[in-house]
Amino acid sequence: MSDSKMCTIICDGGKRAGIAYGSFIIYNPKGKIIIHKGVTFAYGTSNLAEYLTLVKALHYATELGITEVEIKMDSLLVINQVLGKFKCNYKHLRLARGDVRHRLKNFTNWKFTKIHNTEMKRIIGH
């Protein structure tokens, strides 16, 4: 498939002062922002916040009718667990990973790209 039809999701999650949070941006194939959203979660670790933010972004992308997506994250853990390259030792992360994998089935084409955390901070702001 041509990347010219591919939308981009940039997402990041974390935890600060006991609050799990995340942000994501969805870009159309021409690089225009479709949605930029921040989310907070009632509980969770930094890694769970990464997963839950990705779940939210994939939900919105599906609702928008997007069929091809490049997901850019700074979390090698999440990327490699979703791809099956890393073990997932904790039940709460396995459940979130399962949710991500299930949602990825809604897309005809998808890929992950690891970006450096300094680039993430410049784009997302945290």
CATH code of 100's domain: 3.30.420.10
Domain that holds residue 42: 3-124
For 89-118, the pLDDT digits (tens) are 999 999 999 999 999 999 999 999 999 999
For 1-43, the pLDDT digits (tens) are 345 689 999 999 999 988 999 999 999 999 999 999 999 998 8
The pLDDT of residue 1 is 38
- In the predicted model, what is the mean pLDDT of residues 43-67? 96
> How many domains would you assign to the chain?
1
pTM of the model: 0.94
Distance (Å, whole) CA 58 – CA 56: 5
Distance (Å, whole) CA 110 – CA 6: 8
The pLDDT of residue 2 is 44
**Assigned token pair, 11:** 């997402």
